[in-house]
């Protein structure tokens, strides 16, 4: 029944636009951070809107499970040469899924990674699913953890991101291709797949609306610490088209 609803949703022309801002991240300055791993194992999905200003490595969302040894994490990022989206799980080794299409600086893209199990993950770019990566990787849970936007999961700081981000969402469930396509068209995560949302960060102004909300809309979760990088990223009016059906 839900699959039929989503198909109808995708085929329906959106009727209204939700005004929404974004945050502008520049290399070497602010990033978003929560001092915990909001999800520690697959299944999970991470996705957000990204507008790259330049063609550099763009770290979108990362969840560090054990940063004391640097190699236990989940993350999605934009690579260069070619410009693809990567969904990566790191444990004893690296399980890396790539998008089958390419991102372009200067325009909005919906980027994401769906981690179905320890040995199955996909990267998404604008609703298009790349090939499955089946390397078995289980990040080990450790004491030093963080969930970040616009910064790598690893230490020392890899901080090249030069992009705007909006609508960053993390689920403790693996979304399917129909759902990711609906999100890439501009439908809200709360409508497409409300269950399993553990963080939903819209990047709006004023700052109080940056509160992370759960699936029921309760805004009582902590906000990202933007000062960790030395400068809070500027809120800007530019945003992708996000619709109510």
Q: What is the pLDDT of residues 89-98, one digit of tens each?
A: 999 999 999 9
Is 18 within a domain?
Answer: no
Q: How far is CA 159 from CA 1, 31, 180, in A?
A: 43, 9, 27
Q: What is the pLDDT of residue 4?
A: 45
Cα–Cα dist 136/120, whole Å: 8
Of 126-130, 134-138, 207-211, minimum mean pLDDT range: 207-211
Residue 14 in domain: no
Whether the CA torsion 172, 175, 181, 187 is positive or negative: it is negative
Query: What's the domain count of the chain?
Result: 1
Beta bridge mates, 168: 201
The 10s digit of each residue's pLDDT in 179-191 is 999 999 999 898 8
Judge whether 38 lies within some domain.
Answer: yes
Summarize the confidence of residues 160-185 as an average pLDDT.
93
Rounded CA separation 131/70 (Å)? 26
Choose between 122 and 159: higher pLDDT.
122
Q: What is the C-alpha separation between 167 and 202, in angstroms, rounded?
A: 4
| Residue ranges making up the domain that contains 27 | 2-6+23-237
Q: Is 109 within the bounds of a domain?
A: yes
Cis check for the bond before 156: say yes or no (omega within 30 of 0): yes
Determine, yes or no, domain membership for 12: no
């Amino acid at each position: 029944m839900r699959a039929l609803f989503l198909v109808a949703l995708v085929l329906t022309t959106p009727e209204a636009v939700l005004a929404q801002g974004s945050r502008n991240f520049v290399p070497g300055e602010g990033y978003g951070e929560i001092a915990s791993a909001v999800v520690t194992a697959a299944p999970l999905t991470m996705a957000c809107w990204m507008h790259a200003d330049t063609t550099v490595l763009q770290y979108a969302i990362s969840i560090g499970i054990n940063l004391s040894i640097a190699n236990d994490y989940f993350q999605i990022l934009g690579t260069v040469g070619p410009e693809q989206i990567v969904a990566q799980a790191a444990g004893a080794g690296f399980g890396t899924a790539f998008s089958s299409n390419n991102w372009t600086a200067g325009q909005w893209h919906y980027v994401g990674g769906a981690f179905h199990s320890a040995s199955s993950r996909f990267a998404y770019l604008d609703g298009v699913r790349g090939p499955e990566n089946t390397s078995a990787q289980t990040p080990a849970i450790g004491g030093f953890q963080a969930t970040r936007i616009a910064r790598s999961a690893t230490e020392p700081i890899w901080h090249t991101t030069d992009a705007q981000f909006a609508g960053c969402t993390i689920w403790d469930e693996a979304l399917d291709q129909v759902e990711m396509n609906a999100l890439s068209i501009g439908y809200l995560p709360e409508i497409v797949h409300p269950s399993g949302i553990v963080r939903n960060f819209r990047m709006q102004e004023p700052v109080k609306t940056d509160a992370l909300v759960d699936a029921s809309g309760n805004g009582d979760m902590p906000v990202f610490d933007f000062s960790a990088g030395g400068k809070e990223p500027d809120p800007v009016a530019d945003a992708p088209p996000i619709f109510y059906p």
